[in-house]
Amino acid sequence: MLKIRLRRVGAKKQPSYRIVIAEADNPRDGRFLENIGHYNPRTEPAAISVNEERALHWLSMGAQPTDAVHRIFGWTGTGDRFTRLKSGEELNGLLSEAEAAAAERPFETKTRRDDLIGVSPRKSKKQIAKEAAVAVAEAADAEESAVEADE
């Protein structure tokens, strides 16, 4: 069975990944059939590049994406385009749509969990708690001044 999965590359503690087609039995960084893209989670925002034509080809041939690759395909829209390809849309139209989407955004945005919930990844838990305490104190001061103004 063929899998579409991530293959780790990069130095120690500086991972970057290639999106590859490999046999399910092969090791993570072992032999693969084709490289169809890359994913670098260490950049802000995460850098993602997928060769849509080859990805759609391998998906139509029965290759199964892993959970991580399935998420990446969701971010780039490849999963939606594959569903539309299966329903009968023409491949050329889907590929031109993919090229237009890739030209709009050279890197994928809002992929990190912290960005999705609105917390900056550079802030520590102490900083976040301190900002919350300051916001609560300001709200209490504003409420107190409103009560004084009414009297």
The pLDDT tens digits of the residues spanning 2-21 come to 899 999 998 998 999 999 99
Superfamily of domain 2-118: Ribosomal protein S16 (3.30.1320.10)
Q: What pLDDT, in 10s, does the model give residues 71-82?
A: 998 888 888 888
Q: What percent of the chain has pLDDT over 90?
A: 11
Q: Give the pair of three-digit tokens for residue 22.
A: 């490999």
The pTM (predicted TM-score) of the whole model is 0.64
Own/partner contacts of 36-44, CB < 8 Å, gap of 24 or more, are 36/4, 39/6, 39/72, 40/16, 41/15, 41/16, 41/17, 41/111, 41/112, 42/14, 42/15, 42/16, 43/107, 44/112, 44/121
